[in-house]
A and B are shown apart, each in its own frame.
Chain A
Amino acid sequence: MLRAVAAQRLRRAASLIQRFQSTLVIAEHNNETLTPITLNAITAAKRLGGEVSCLVAGTSCDKVAQEVSKVQGVAKVLVAQHDTYKGFLAEELTPLILETHKKYNYTHICAGASAFGKNLIPRVAGKLDVAPVSDIIEIQSPDTFVRTMYAGNILCTVQCDEAIKVFTVRGTSFEAAPTSGGSASLEKLTPPPPVGLSEWIDQQLTKSDRPELTSAKVVVSGGRGLKSSENFKLLYDLADQLHAAVGASRAAVDAGFVPNDMQVGQTGKIVAPELYIAVGISGAIQHLAGMKDSKTIVAINKDPEAPIFQVADFGLVADLFQAVPEMTELLKKK
Chain B
Amino acid sequence: MAPLKVLVGVKRVIDFAVKVRVAPGGQGVQEQGVKHSLNPFCEIALEEAVRLREKGDAAEVVVASVGTRQSQEVLRTALALGADRAVLVEVPPGGPALGPREVAAALSRLVARESPHLVLLGKQAIDDDCNQTGQLLAAALDWAQGTFVSRLALEAGAVRVQRELDGGLETLRLRLPAVLSADLRLNQPRYASLPSIMKAKKKPLELLPLPELLGCPPAPPRLRVLRLEEPPGRQGGQRVENVAALLERLAAAGRI
Residue positions of A touching B, CB distance < 8 A = 87, 89-91, 94, 114-116, 118-127, 130-135, 144, 147-162, 196-206, 214, 218, 242, 250, 253-254, 259-261, 266-267, 269, 274-275, 285-286, 292, 295-298, 309-318, 323, 326-327, 330-331
Question: Which residues on B sit within 8 Å (CB–CB) of A198?
Answer: 144-146, 172-175
Whether A214 contacts B139 by the Cβ 8 Å rule is no
Question: Which residues on A sit within 8 Å (CB–CB) of B230?
Answer: 153-155
**Surface stretch bound by A, among B3-11, B85-93, B218-226:** B218-226
Whether B222 contacts A115 by the Cβ 8 Å rule is no
Contact of A154 with B171 at beta-carbon distance under 8 Å, contacts A91-B144, A122-B100, A315-B239 already known: no
List the A residue with the shortest CB-CB distance to B173. A199
Given contacts A131-B223, A155-B230, A261-B167, 13 further A-B contacts (CB under 8 A): A91-B145, A115-B163, A115-B165, A126-B137, A132-B100, A153-B20, A197-B142, A198-B172, A205-B167, A259-B168, A275-B250, A292-B234, A296-B253
Question: Which residues on A sit within 8 Å (CB–CB) of B227?
Answer: 156-157
Question: Which residues on B sit within 8 Å (CB–CB) of A94?
Answer: 139
Interchain CB contact (< 8 A) of A309 among B29, B123, B224, B236: B236
With a 10 A CB-CB cut-off, give which of B131, B136, B166 has the most chain A CB atoms: B166
Contact with A along B218-256 (1 / 0, CB 8 A): 000111111111110010111110111011011001011
Give how many A-B residue pairs fall within 8 Å (CB-CB): 252
The interface residues of chain A, by DSSP majority, are classed as mixed
Contact of A158 with B175 at beta-carbon distance under 8 Å, contacts A131-B100, A204-B168, A274-B255 already known: no
Whether A125 contacts B170 by the Cβ 8 Å rule is no
Whether A131 contacts B222 by the Cβ 8 Å rule is yes
Question: Which residues on A sit within 8 Å (CB–CB) of B226?
Answer: 144, 157-159
Whether B231 contacts A311 by the Cβ 8 Å rule is no
CA–CA, A157 to B206, complex, Å?
Answer: 36
Interchain CB contact (< 8 A) of B225 among A115, A158, A200: A158
Interchain CB contact (< 8 A) of B19 among A153, A155, A316: A153
Q: Which of B121-144 contact A (CB under 8 A)?
A: 123-124, 126-133, 135-140, 142-144
Interchain CB contact (< 8 A) of B104 among A126, A135, A153, A154: A126
With a 10 A CB-CB cut-off, give which of A89, A149, A162, A285 has the most chain B CB atoms: A149
Contact of A114 with B166 at beta-carbon distance under 8 Å, contacts A155-B229, A297-B234, A312-B237 already known: yes
The interface residues of chain B, by DSSP majority, are classed as mixed
CA–CA, A86 to B171, complex, Å?
Answer: 12
CA–CA, A309 to B236, complex, Å?
Answer: 6
Q: Whole-angstrom distance from the CB of A221 to the nearest CB of chain B?
A: 15
Question: Which residues on B sit within 8 Å (CB–CB) of A91?
Answer: 144-145
Whether B171 contacts A201 by the Cβ 8 Å rule is yes
CA–CA, A87 to B145, complex, Å?
Answer: 13
Interchain CB contact (< 8 A) of A90 among B29, B135, B240: B135
Q: Whole-angstrom distance from the CB of B128 to the nearest CB of chain A?
A: 5
List the B residue with the shortest CB-CB distance to A148. B129
Contact with A along B144-184 (1 / 0, CB 8 A): 11111010000000001001111111111111001000011
Question: Which residues on A sit within 8 Å (CB–CB) of B146?
Answer: 198
Question: Chain B: interface residue count, which band?
Answer: 35 or more
Contact of A130 with B168 at beta-carbon distance under 8 Å, contacts A297-B234, A314-B240 already known: no
Question: Which residues on A sit within 8 Å (CB–CB) of B142?
Answer: 197
Contact of A316 with B139 at beta-carbon distance under 8 Å, contacts A118-B131, A153-B230, A200-B170 already known: no
Question: Which residues on A sit within 8 Å (CB–CB) of B145?
Answer: 90-91, 119, 123, 198
Question: Which residues on A sit within 8 Å (CB–CB) of B250?
Answer: 275, 296, 298, 314
CA–CA, A316 to B249, complex, Å?
Answer: 12
Interchain CB contact (< 8 A) of A327 among B137, B138, B166, B246: B246
List the A residue with the shortest CB-CB distance to B256. A242
List the B residue with the shortest CB-CB distance to A162. B222
Interchain CB contact (< 8 A) of A197 among B16, B143, B171: B143
Whether B101 contacts A135 by the Cβ 8 Å rule is no
Contact of A131 with B101 at beta-carbon distance under 8 Å, contacts A87-B170, A125-B136 already known: yes
CA–CA, A175 to B183, complex, Å?
Answer: 29
Q: Whole-angstrom distance from the CB of A95 to the nearest CB of chain B?
A: 11
CA–CA, A214 to B169, complex, Å?
Answer: 17
B22 interfacial by beta-carbon distance below 8 Å: yes
Contact of A115 with B19 at beta-carbon distance under 8 Å, contacts A144-B226, A152-B231, A275-B250 already known: no
Contact of A311 with B236 at beta-carbon distance under 8 Å, contacts A153-B231, A261-B164 already known: yes
Whether A134 contacts B136 by the Cβ 8 Å rule is no
Whether A134 contacts B237 by the Cβ 8 Å rule is no
Question: Which residues on A sit within 8 Å (CB–CB) of B131?
Answer: 118, 122, 134-135
Interchain CB contact (< 8 A) of A148 among B138, B139, B231: B231
A-B contact pairs, 22 of them (CB 8 A): A91-B145, A119-B145, A119-B147, A123-B135, A126-B137, A149-B228, A150-B20, A154-B22, A157-B229, A158-B224, A159-B224, A159-B226, A161-B224, A261-B166, A292-B234, A297-B234, A312-B237, A314-B237, A315-B236, A316-B243, A316-B246, A327-B246
